[in-house]
Structure 1
């Protein structure tokens, strides 16, 4: 764990921030937009985890640890985004893997078997918890679009697996929200 002596550095006061390797970029760079959306998503998943502990929905507590693992996976992916691929740091860090993607797909498939998905558009708001999950889903979709921008505009094709993961995660969250509505 990294220990900080201070949080405020004033290094960003002029509208710039640093990648993990120290490279400076403007704060509205596509990379920081993607990182910000993923950070927001990780935070919303934390809100959902906290609310799961108080939820009367039968069987929902099993998803708390899964959401925690998803948060950790997203944080690993953020590290990949924030570190140039040609940097030595990139080689040493844990990366999002094909196994992460396959595990998410398998979880969605299991959940989908327990959930009825209609053909009509869903209007969120049947319950508080499913609404929070839908918010996380929409943030996830935005994060995916930001990653696509990074891939296309910054030639960061190595992030494609992460884009796929975000795509599957939004599907998983959609199904989870519908399951919560039906189980509650």
Structure 2
């Protein structure tokens, strides 16, 4: 059975291929931009493994899959060719993030001051996602000065950082609740043990 090699030697001269076969340098703004979203997606995957909420895991995995569409579109030298063969991020995807943000904003306690980036392991990693997302967004905006990018992409990226922030807060909240429940159970068990000795 034929197995594809991991290395091709095609990038040994500092260049890489875009979706349409066009060769560009690896330090070009385009490659730096979609490469930073690739970095973000790896961080999302790590955050997903730390989450205690199954719902949050599902949300993050949904975003992970859409990130491949985002990276693919940005890596397309000729976007029109990419649109013919692949799905793209739509305004419905933007609305999905907004619904999650709105739902959790109503559920969680109000924030009246700055908070430290993550009281839980999942929360801390999600704040890493938020900051990498902001960096990727800055690169995207610079890239857009000379290249056309669909407005849905720009909106989606902007909402993502808020999405990571609110999921981080929810994970911190869930961990705090779980600790309180564990403490109550522990106290109850101690009381019952003491009674058994009476």
Task: Name the TM-score, length of structure 1 as normaliser.
Answer: 0.87
Q: How does 1:1-184 map to 2 (within 5 A)?
A: 5-52=4-51, 55=52, 60-85=53-78, 87-152=80-145, 154-158=146-150, 160-184=151-175
In structure 2, C-alpha distance between the alignment counterparts of 1:103 and 1:163, rounded to whole Å: 15
**Distance 1:4-1:147 versus aligned 2 partners, 3 A rule:** farther
RMSD value, Cα: 1.7
Deviations 1:80-134 (A, max 9, x none): 1111345423322111111111111111111111112423222224221110010
In structure 2, C-alpha distance between the alignment counterparts of 1:81 and 1:131, rounded to whole Å: 28
In structure 2, C-alpha distance between the alignment counterparts of 1:182 and 1:102, rounded to whole Å: 24
**Distance 1:182-1:80 versus aligned 2 partners, 3 A rule:** same
Q: Is the 8 Å Cα contact of residues 104 and 170 (structure 2) preserved in structure 1? A: yes
Deviations 1:144-175 (A, max 9, x none): 111111111x32232x3212111101001111
Q: Is the 8 Å Cα contact of residues 108 and 175 (structure 1) preserved in structure 2? A: yes
In structure 1, C-alpha distance between the alignment counterparts of 2:24 and 2:120, rounded to whole Å: 41
Structure with bigger gyration radius: 2
Unaligned runs of 5+ in 2: 176-198
Q: Does 3-12 or 107-116 show the bigger shift?
A: 3-12
Give the number of the structure with larger relative contact order, counting CA–CA contacts within 8 Å between residues 6 or more apart: 1
Q: Is the 8 Å Cα contact of residues 124 and 130 (structure 1) preserved in structure 2? A: yes
Count of aligned residue pairs for this structure pair:
174
Deviations 1:54-102 (A, max 9, x none): x3xxxx1111111111011111011111113454233221111111111
Unaligned runs of 5+ in 1: none
Q: Is the 8 Å Cα contact of residues 84 and 90 (structure 1) preserved in structure 2? A: no
**Distance 1:82-1:142 versus aligned 2 partners, 3 A rule:** same
